[in-house]
Amino acid sequence: MPYFLVLVILSFLSVFILFPISQQFLTSFSNDVVGVSTVRWVGLRNYERLFADEDFWFSVRVTFIYMFFVVLGSVSIGLFSALMLNRAFRGRNFARSVIAIPWAFPEVSAVLVFLWMCNPTFGVMNVFARLIPGVDENLQWLTDPNLAMPLVIALSVWKAFPFTCLVILAALQAIPNDLYEAAEVDGANRLQSFRLITIPEITPTLMLMGVLASIFAFKQFTLIWLTTGGGPFGGMTETLVLRIYQTAFRFFDLAYGATLGVAGFVIVLGLTLLFVFVQQRQERARGR
């Protein structure tokens, strides 16, 4: 029975994960384009095109900008929310349930509500924007190059931070109270206890949340595609995932789209290996 269960899992992973990844690698070395009658091996030609493609490097830069602010926002807001929910107050259980709503909300439904709020004619966002001194006209939220990316980031942070909050909250509750009591006896104030006890104890969790938030931001498609479509101008919000989609399914260049996908896979793999390396170093340092 144990071997049978493992076989089922390995079969699922092989068919739905390993096979598509290997097929993508093979396609990246071909000239597979819709309309080409004969698919042939072209070696590293697609990768040479990749390194010379300015649009690719621009989408990578947009991806890292988007990913940096999503990770920073989701982890910092998640940490602040977890610290608040870790305190004893009336209605705490209800608050913990409510804060999970953005994470559980379907992405398409969340985008539809967000588009209604940002409508330049009757959206509620402009009602609040006109309260700011100097803003006399309705703002074009998702078609303004200066506002589109911040709004997409804000929507992504709103969607991602509840999961981070709940995981960090679980890590906070796992910290022994004896540590805080001993620190209080030694004369430490709340800030010192937070800096010397709380942060070191939850650092592995914060790092894990940073990696998961990075992967969430890197592979995010629905929120960006349905709000801006990668625009408004010159691919201002076109991340690498959207670039892959456009190349493979709009311009039907399957081989180059697979090459872009391999590049994204390598970037995510590098981020994961970096996390493992840093985590192992921290564990060795704590073991000393």
The answer to whether 51 touches 256, Cβ cutoff 8 Å, is: no
Name the amino acid, one letter, at 180.
Y
> Per-residue pLDDT averaged across 7-18, rounded?
92
- Domain 45-287, CATH: 1.10.3720.10
Whether 176 contacts 203, CB under 8 Å: no
Domain ranges of the chain: 45-287
Q: Is the per-residue pLDDT at 288 higher than 60?
A: no
Kindly report the number of other CB atoms within 10 A of residue 129's CB atom.
15
Summarised one tens digit per residue, pLDDT across range 115-133 is 999 988 888 998 898 888 8
CB contact burial 239-272 (16+ within 10 A = b; e otherwise)? bbbbbbbbbbeeeebbbbbbbbbbbbeebeeeee
Q: What is the mean pLDDT of the chain?
A: 90
State yes or no: pLDDT of 164 exceeds 90.
yes
Model confidence pLDDT, tens digit, residues 68-86: 999 999 999 999 999 999 9
Summarised one tens digit per residue, pLDDT across range 234-276 is 788 999 999 999 999 888 899 999 999 999 999 988 888 888 8
